[in-house]
A and B are shown apart, each in its own frame.
Chain A
């Protein structure tokens, strides 16, 4: 894909984030969509392409009253929205549509209008993982951690710093769920969920949503907001079963999506001013730093423990507080994208001074899928 041909011209989260028991999941989609339309100064009738996950595009189109000429229902977990951005950028460049609305919303905590997740007993997951006591993401996602720690010599204290540093970022964000400072001791003494991970190393479960509007870069200059250009993109999938990953020392999906995006963008790692790595659980930033090629995996734990990703550090990461402290409705990728867009617009609550390039890396399922978007505010 060619660089900087498509831009984000509208971006917004739901009016409320956190616990929203008075709103159904589809209405959270609509709330985010209407906020993004207002942000972009557009009407619903201006939208000719739509993409969403879990909820189907037809539900979204009907509920909002949109007649699209292009739809994408890619639903690969929390990074689906990174894939939507990639697909939408390609579709706009190909002339299949002009203005794409991408929405995410999830009543993850209140469960209003949200069907329960169900693993069929005759699926491969149902046959070869569920019978052994797998019980939702906290029981599955951390399974690779002990192997990763042993292979690379990563310590419990180093991984605990992921949560500590992100809480510091969250404290600067008025919309964060948790803002009180925490220490390594707090993390390592918090309630055990699935050894080696404790509750402060697991994401929040909240309600909310977000929406993005994309159009061609040539049109973007006529919109009220500062355009944020798509510089590079990547995507991949590996396996729906964490037990069947090629290795626990790395994510194959990360290693395809991330480097693809860097090659497309034509940038080096030293060019990155701001980084988002989807942190459903505290080990994901370590996997991401290694698999995206920022450093060898052996150095990821020390890099975070030495505060390189903290406020004032050389690689500010997860500056909204992340899934661990900001919010996590179940499919967090949209919130990572929103923070990258805010950073590129220069309006983030914890703004990185003069940030020009933002890398936004997502995961779907338990390392099942991955998408990477690289944004810039310079064309």
Chain B
């Protein structure tokens, strides 16, 4: 039952493309057509220059580990200890995520380690972007 209590995102019209992307196995970011600024989280204008001319594109999925905590308290849908991480995408923006296929320890979780995106399907409606240590 614990898993069913995990917080699930509820998309809005402005974020729908992102959550449709994760279901399709794509990490979708936005880029300003005028100033080329790449940003996250989603919104239909550039937070750098205020232009409404923005495009959606598929990110490379490459990232590095920017910082994290290893949470030791129980939380709905999670078995402690588990890491709550912030990763820096190679395109620039940072996002909160979880790190999979890696021991949840300070020794294994090295800052600046290379990561790649993976997609964790929670149910038919929600797939979350998570990250694993990059191969090679």
A-to-B contact residues, CB < 8 Å? 119-122, 124, 126-135, 138-140, 142-147, 150, 191-197, 241-244, 248
Asked if residues A143 and B9 are in contact (CB atoms below 8 Å), the reply is no
Complex-state Cα separation, A130 to B76, whole angstroms: 10
Asked if residues B7 and A121 are in contact (CB atoms below 8 Å), the reply is yes
Contacts of A126 in B (CB 8 A): 7, 9-10
B36 touches A (CB below 8 Å): no
Complex-state Cα separation, A37 to B8, whole angstroms: 47
Given the known A-B contacts A132-B98, A143-B84, are A196 and B11 also in contact in the complex, defined by CB atoms under 8 Å?
A: no
Complex-state Cα separation, A186 to B6, whole angstroms: 34
Name which residue of chain A comes closest to B130, CB basis: A132
Complex-state Cα separation, A120 to B8, whole angstroms: 10
Contacts of B19 in A (CB 8 A): 127
B7 to chain A, nearest CB (A): 4
B20 to chain A, nearest CB (A): 13
Asked if residues A193 and B72 are in contact (CB atoms below 8 Å), the reply is yes
Complex-state Cα separation, A129 to B75, whole angstroms: 13
B45 touches A (CB below 8 Å): no
Pair count A-B, CB < 8 A:
116
Complex-state Cα separation, A194 to B6, whole angstroms: 19
The one of A119, A127, A133, A196 that contacts B84, using a Cβ cutoff of 8 Å: A133
What would be 27 A-B contacts, judged by CB atoms less than 8 Å apart?
A: A121-B7, A121-B8, A122-B11, A127-B41, A128-B96, A129-B96, A131-B7, A131-B9, A131-B126, A132-B96, A132-B128, A133-B6, A133-B78, A134-B84, A135-B71, A138-B73, A139-B73, A140-B84, A144-B67, A147-B66, A192-B70, A193-B71, A193-B72, A193-B73, A194-B84, A195-B70, A196-B106
Contacts of A143 in B (CB 8 A): 67-69, 84, 86
B128 to chain A, nearest CB (A): 6
Complex-state Cα separation, A196 to B11, whole angstroms: 32
Asked if residues B73 and A135 are in contact (CB atoms below 8 Å), the reply is yes
The one of A121, A194, A242 that contacts B71, using a Cβ cutoff of 8 Å: A194
B4 to chain A, nearest CB (A): 13
Contacts of A129 in B (CB 8 A): 96
What 6 A-B pairs have minimum CB-CB distances, sorted nearest first?
A135-B75, A127-B9, A147-B67, A121-B10, A195-B70, A130-B7
Complex-state Cα separation, A196 to B81, whole angstroms: 12
Complex-state Cα separation, A129 to B6, whole angstroms: 12
Contacts of A194 in B (CB 8 A): 69-73, 84
Complex-state Cα separation, A309 to B22, whole angstroms: 49
Contacts of A138 in B (CB 8 A): 71, 73
Segment 1-56 of B: residues with Cβ below 8 Å from A: 6-12, 15, 19, 41
B32 to chain A, nearest CB (A): 17
Segment 66-103 of B: residues with Cβ below 8 Å from A: 66-73, 75-78, 81-82, 84-86, 94-98
Complex-state Cα separation, A243 to B65, whole angstroms: 12
Name which residue of chain B comes closest to A139, CB basis: B71
B111 touches A (CB below 8 Å): yes
Name which residue of chain A comes closest to B7, CB basis: A130
Contacts of A241 in B (CB 8 A): 41, 96
Asked if residues B12 and A122 are in contact (CB atoms below 8 Å), the reply is yes
B37 to chain A, nearest CB (A): 14
Complex-state Cα separation, A242 to B8, whole angstroms: 19
Asked if residues A121 and B95 are in contact (CB atoms below 8 Å), the reply is no
Name which residue of chain B comes closest to A120, CB basis: B10
Complex-state Cα separation, A140 to B71, whole angstroms: 9
Asked if residues A142 and B69 are in contact (CB atoms below 8 Å), the reply is yes
Name which residue of chain B comes closest to A194, CB basis: B69
Contacts of A192 in B (CB 8 A): 70, 72, 81
Contacts of A146 in B (CB 8 A): 67-69, 111
Contacts of A127 in B (CB 8 A): 9-12, 15, 19, 41
The one of A124, A131, A139, A193 that contacts B6, using a Cβ cutoff of 8 Å: A131
